[in-house]
Amino acid sequence: MVNRIPKYRRQKRSNGDIAFVELNGQRHYLGAYGTAKSKQKYHHLLVEWTTAGGQLPVPKEEITIMELLARFLSYAQKHYRRPDGSPTSEINNFKIALKPLKELYGLLPVCDFSPLKLKAVRQQLIAKRLTRKSINKMVGRIRTVIRWGTENELVPPEVIHGLQAVSGLQQGRTEAKESGLVKPVPQAHIAAIESHVNRQIWSLVQLQLHTAARAGELVKIRAIDIDTSGKIWTYTPADHKTAHHGHSRTIYIGPQGQETIRQFMRGRPVDAYLFSPREADAERYRQANTHRRLNQKANPRKTHRVVGNHYTTASYRRAIERACKLADVPAWTPHRLRHNAGTYIRKEFGVEAAQIMLGHKKADVTQIYPEVNRDKALEIAAQIG
């Protein structure tokens, strides 16, 4: 039995408000707000919904792009989760990719979405000056949503078949701009931030250089996750870039990395995160020249930010960006430190060694990390030419 009648509601948009009704936690978009057509559709849906006892099977031909996106994002919130239950960044990636689709064709029945319409969405991304690789990834995510709708019998199969015919943008054959090569951070720019970051952030920087690990693989490292039985320690992160593909990842920690970690392992529970922003804040307060009086009122909070028990890739990146600004050097990201390590390893030990340390499944991926070793090239040229 239906106890509450869902209301005819408004969603404000810059290019015209949209009417919708929410049934069983799903939004059904009705068209332009206030129009007779949208109100008529609302009443038809309500009659069907109440007659069916609060259930509404929507025919494929009536599902709009916006309704499909709402259902997919509801699914994505549950699907794209890390082993600890926290949401992955993929949810936000989908929201960014789907925004231009919603703006252009939100009210279009999903069965009418065609290859030319997908190319129109892609053209909007090109006009926004996004890079070719980013655009191809975003178009791929749009196809993922349509494919999900197809497997759940919300979208006719011919729709995804048509979209598969849209090939990706090719280098040199599109007006989309190319992304620049990610280069290692100059050593002077790394050294410049040392005095502007806490010991936790600086240790993360050093550990990336010593291990060639990704930032996301190190921010959650715990003593319990490290095998210290051998001369070279090994760390197997539960959460890493390719974990959802069933791939394993082993990070090798040599003497310098061990020395970096060891200071954080003393006097700490084995299941506690080694790099803690709460601990960093406590250290900063202890070192401060001035302290709050016991009866001093607390200042009102400026943000809703809560200091966690481990750094995230975002908080780690922001700390480095702030330090770069204070040190008056060009901003760089933690991801580039991996290129520093990859370049050095390949130069000294070869491609296969770099592939193992970087955790790549294919050697061709490793090729993007090193810079050209000019001195080696000159040496070879002198011998063969």
Domain residue ranges in the chain: 9-163, 187-286+308-366
The count of other CB atoms within 10 Å of the CB of residue 144 is: 16
Helix axes 277-287, 199-211, angle to 10 degrees: 130
Instruction: Tell me the pLDDT tens digit for each residue of 346-381.
Output: 777 766 655 666 665 554 544 555 454 555 444 544
In angstroms, the CA 32 to CA 161 distance is 30
Percent of the chain predicted with pLDDT > 90? 45
DSSP letter for 121, please.
H
In angstroms, the CA 113 to CA 325 distance is 46
The count of other CB atoms within 10 Å of the CB of residue 185 is: 22
* pLDDT at 325 (0 to 100): 96
Among all chains, which residue has been given the structure tokens 């809560």?
306
In angstroms, the CA 248 to CA 162 distance is 36
Q: Between residues 159 and 183, which one has the greater pLDDT? A: 159
Ranked by mean pLDDT, the top range of 131-135, 335-339, 370-374 is: 131-135
What length is written for the chain?
385
Q: Between residues 194 and 249, which one has the greater pLDDT? A: 194
In angstroms, the CA 337 to CA 120 distance is 37
Contact 125, 135 (CB under 8 A): yes
Q: Does domain 187-286+308-366 have CATH number 1.10.443.10?
A: yes
Chain centroid to Cα 129, Å, comes to 20
In angstroms, the CA 49 to CA 46 distance is 5
For residue 107, the one-letter residue type is: L
Q: Between residues 384 and 189, which one has the greater pLDDT? A: 189
Q: Where are the alpha helices (DSSP H) in the chain?
A: 36-51, 65-79, 90-105, 115-127, 132-151, 157-163, 187-192, 199-211, 215-218, 255-265, 277-287, 313-327, 335-349, 351-358, 363-366, 374-384
Contact 275, 219 (CB under 8 A): yes
pTM: 0.63
